[in-house]
Structure 1
């Protein structure tokens, strides 16, 4: 029998959906088979964590489990209330069965209900939940990644261009097999994006800081910068101030489907770098009459 899903995920019964999701991500990443090759214990733990999350992440299933209508594996529990009433009935009392708010029935009807149940129809299989981390540029440009399933199988996951943190991809029919010829469940892959060392993203736009030398800022220059689609030569105008922002249209997240391409926003930072005596002597004799860079601080 499966363990209590709250215990498996290490959360309290009153935990929020966000708490449950956070606990699942942490445990799934720690015990994933790809990170623990050949470790059967980690594999079993990963399976248990995935099953617990599958139940608690579904509001309807979680509510049924909390009410005792299904067990930790998602299987319906037999109604026990009528049996308790029968066991507690006193001598000479009429034995009655109640399914809880649906009215009473004679004890003999209980057996009629048990032994004359109609066969259930087709039922869709359970969805399987997975967590997948991709690199920043993989999420921007799109990529196909292969994940290893708890049973040792593999699944190719196509990450579309522009995928955002927390997006959930649905692969139909890649979950648990259905019952009584019902359709298979789906595989739900929640995507997490690793941070980049100098890019960060806001919507469809990408932002980055670019250092320029004192000479480039004063005299102007052509500087080459990396973009997700390749290197680009960018013009720095003469007299550029540190903190100047420039926009390269269409150089952000590429166009995909109904989404237009985003822009790349570049913030320039003037860096002095190493100095020599020639520069120091020049600056000692250089004056800028009437210019006070801290005038706005008064």
Structure 2
């Protein structure tokens, strides 16, 4: 069984949501696999921290965990399991009262009525409220909408009812958004169900995503590669100027810190890597051809490493 999520994050049960988030960010940065390559213990610790925050970092899950409805793994806990889970309900023996039997309860209906916060008292209740069913919806979004955040208007089955779906900044392909109370109406006064939006993020023609980092191939001319130049790089927040130094080859990467994708849990942004790619003119260039014919390069063999590898 997993450890108590509060203990994993080093916080108390009365800790505010903001302080829990700060504790998670600090630990996540410390044990992130990118900062501890090859360290299996750090990787396991990072997974444990993430699982703990998944419970106590979510307002609804935290409340359910504190009430004992979820265990430390985030799984549903049977209300009849007895005992006390983490913050769970505890059975309490009652002394005899008027009209009670030896156990202190009038009958089984009294026990169950008391457990759910209502005394049955032998009287029959009206129809039991039932929560409405959940609705699942598949939504395909553009990469930039998922990266920057957006709002989409969708029509839900089966009646075409329209709702707004908020796309949080940094949403990843395959994630599911839960819209509470937006599903089918409840029965007998019960709460409405939820809408579960399964998101597919379309690939982008320029940005390539790996983890929280982005890579973009940046074409440069032969002249820019030889002499150096100031060029603009596209980012999620708009173009950024960088300087390409003289004598730059293809596949040289320039790192722009904090220009990658946002991690929705930690709020930390990844980096963007601009990778150079030397391109020649689309049409024949007589001047360039004449220069190449007259150019006398050094004796350096650019394929020397390939020959050594073979």
TM-score by length of 2: 0.55
Match of 2:172 among 164, 171, 192: 164
State how far apart, in whole Å, the 2-side matches of 1:281 and 1:149 are.
65
Distance in 2 (alpha carbons) for counterparts of 1:278 and 1:138: 45
Q: Distance in 1 between matches of 2:217 and 2:146?
A: 20
Question: Corresponding residue for 2:245?
Answer: 237
Give the distance between the partners of 1:171 and 1:161, measured in 2 at CA. Answer: 16
Distance, in Å, in 2 between the alignment partners of 1:279 and 1:207 is 31
- Equivalent of residue 144 in structure 2, options 130, 137, 142: 137
Correspondence for 1:248: 256
Partner of 1:6: none
Distance 1:259 1:271 in 2: 37
Q: Could you tell me which runs of 5 or more consecutive residues in structure 2 were left unpaired when the two chains were aligned.
A: 1-123
Query: Which structure has the larger Rg over C-alpha atoms?
Result: 1
Alpha-carbon distance, 1:180 to partner: 2.4
Note if 1:221 corresponds to 2:232: no
Matched with 1:123 is 130
Q: Report Cα offsets for 1:169-209 as digits up to 9, x if no partner.
A: 00101111222222111000111112211112112211111
Q: TM-score, normalised by structure 1?
A: 0.57
Q: How many residues align?
A: 182
The residue matched to 2:164 in structure 1 has which SS?
A: strand
CA contact (8 A) 2:183 2:195 kept: yes
CA distance in 2, matches of 1:186, 1:143: 20
CA offsets per residue over residues 13-67 of structure 1, 9 Å max, x none? xxxxxxxxxxxxxxxxxxxxxxxxxxxxxxxxxxxxxxxxxxxxxxxxxxxxxxx
Partners in 1 of 2:197 and 2:276 — Cα distance?
38
Question: Aligned to 2:191, what secondary structure does the other structure show?
Answer: coil
Kindly report which structure 2 residues correspond to 1:1-298, keeping only aligned pairs within 5 A, or say none. 121-150=128-157, 151-254=159-262, 256=264, 258-273=266-281, 274-298=283-307
Give CA deviations for 1:80-120 in whole Å, capped at 9, x if unaligned.
xxxxxxxxxxxxxxxxxxxxxxxxxxxxxxxxxxxxx9866
- Is this contact kept in 1: 2:233–2:274, CA < 8 A? no
Distance, in Å, in 1 between the alignment partners of 2:286 and 2:266 is 58
Could you tell which deviates more after superposition, 179-188 or 212-221? 179-188
Q: Distance in 2 between matches of 1:259 and 1:292?
A: 47
Q: What's the CA shift for 1:255?
A: 6.4
CA RMSD of aligned residues (A): 1.9
